[in-house]
């Protein structure tokens, strides 16, 4: 199985503070994704990356930035967290060359007070 | 990507086949049909995908109609551990969008 580690797994922060979530993979998969999941909205794509320093926006990218300085790490940053960004965040990688077969991490639960 | 429509919820008896339908009437010729499931608060899990032909793997079978406007995911012998939300997605680029899915409850 592909190895994905998300950190932190749980975080509580205050409105206006910066937050960075990290997604680390142990294999050299090219595509990586950040999703958020909220009740009533299902999973929504925030940003994705198709290589080192190559990223693109997803459906709900406002208020988020990403960086990928090396293949194994994909960082999601909330520059100034808001209560509407309280959510569960999932990182995913695309296995092999098939970009539809995603392997998801265990999720990071973020609460913004 | 084409929009997909799935029933909100379904029940299935343990040991019986679970047949989960998905409507994707606006699917284009190069869009694949993907199925995922999500058990409780875990990350989604890939199940199977197909383009035109029926597909089978160790987890499930995927039946796609000839006109490709609908498909059915079949879990041949459902167990209690198959209780989950099942997502059907039509995809032809990197933006995989999950809808509300079908909540399948397998009952003893």
Q: Which tokens hold the place of B79? A: 């167990």
Chain B touched by A50 (CB under 8 Å): yes
Nearest to A105 among B34, B43, B91 (CB): B43
Q: Would you state the pLDDT for residue A2?
A: 61
Using an 8 Å CB-CB cutoff, list chain B residues near A107. 41-43
Query: Which tens digit of pLDDT belongs to each residue from A51-82?
Result: 999 999 998 999 999 999 999 999 999 999 99
Q: Would you state the pLDDT for residue A35?
A: 95
Buried b (16+ CB within 10 A) or exposed e, B89-107: bbbeebebbbbebbbbebe
User: Is the pLDDT assigned to residue A109 strictly greater than 60?
Assistant: yes
* Arithmetic mean of pLDDT over chain A: 92
CA dist A30 and A21 (Å) reads 19
Chain A touched by B8 (CB under 8 Å): no
Partners of A110 in the β-ladder? A11, A87
The residue whose two tokens read 């793997």 is B57
Q: Assign residue B3 a region: left if phi > 0, alpha if psi is -120 to 50, beta otherwise?
A: beta
The residue-averaged pLDDT of A3-25 equals 96
Q: Would you state the pLDDT for residue A98?
A: 56
Q: Specify the 3-state DSSP secondary structure of A83.
A: helix
Question: What order do you get walking across the sheet with A4-7 strand by strand?
Answer: A4-7, A19-25, A73-78, A65-70
User: Is the pLDDT assigned to residue B108 strictly greater than 60?
Assistant: yes
Partners of B75 in the β-ladder? B18
**Which long-range contacts does A45-49 make (Cβ < 8 Å, 24+ apart)?**
A45/B95, A45/B96, A45/B97, A46/A76, A46/A89, A47/A76, A48/B94, A48/B95, A49/A74
Q: Would you state the pLDDT for residue B94?
A: 67
What is the percent of chain A where pLDDT is above 90?
80
The winner for highest mean pLDDT among B50-54, B71-75, B88-92 is B71-75
CA dist A83 and B79 (Å) reads 39
Query: Which tens digit of pLDDT belongs to each residue from B30-62?
Result: 889 999 999 988 999 999 999 998 999 999 999
Taking CA–CA distances from A41, the nearest residue in chain B reads: B100
Chain B touched by A90 (CB under 8 Å): yes
CB–CB contact A92 B98 (8 Å): no
Q: Would you state the pLDDT for residue B96?
A: 78
Using an 8 Å CB-CB cutoff, list chain A residues near B4. none
């Amino acid at each position: 199985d592909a190895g994905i580690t998300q950190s932190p797994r749980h975080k509580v922060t205050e409105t206006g503070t910066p937050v960075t979530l990290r997604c680390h993979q142990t294999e050299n998969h090219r595509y990586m994704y950040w999703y958020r999941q909220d009740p009533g909205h299902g999973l929504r794509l925030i940003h994705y990356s198709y290589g080192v320093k190559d990223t693109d926006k997803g459906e709900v990218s406002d208020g988020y930035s990403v960086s990928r300085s090396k293949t194994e790490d994909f960082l999601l940053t909330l520059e100034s967290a808001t209560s509407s960004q309280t959510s569960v965040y999932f990182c995913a990688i695309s296995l092999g060359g098939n970009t539809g077969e995603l392997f998801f991490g265990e999720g990071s639960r973020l609460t913004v007070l | 990507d084409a929009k997909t429509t799935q029933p909100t919820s379904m029940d299935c008896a343990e040991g019986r086949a679970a047949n989960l339908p998905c409507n994707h009437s606006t699917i284009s010729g190069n869009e694949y049909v993907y199925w995922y499931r999500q058990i409780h608060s875990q990350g989604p899990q890939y199940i199977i995908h197909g383009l035109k032909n029926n597909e089978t793997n160790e987890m499930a079978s995927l039946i796609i109609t000839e006109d490709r406007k609908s498909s059915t995911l079949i879990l041949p012998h459902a167990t209690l551990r198959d209780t989950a939300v099942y997502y059907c997605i039509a995809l032809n680029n990197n933006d995989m969008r999950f809808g509300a899915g079908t909540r399948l409850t397998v009952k003893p």
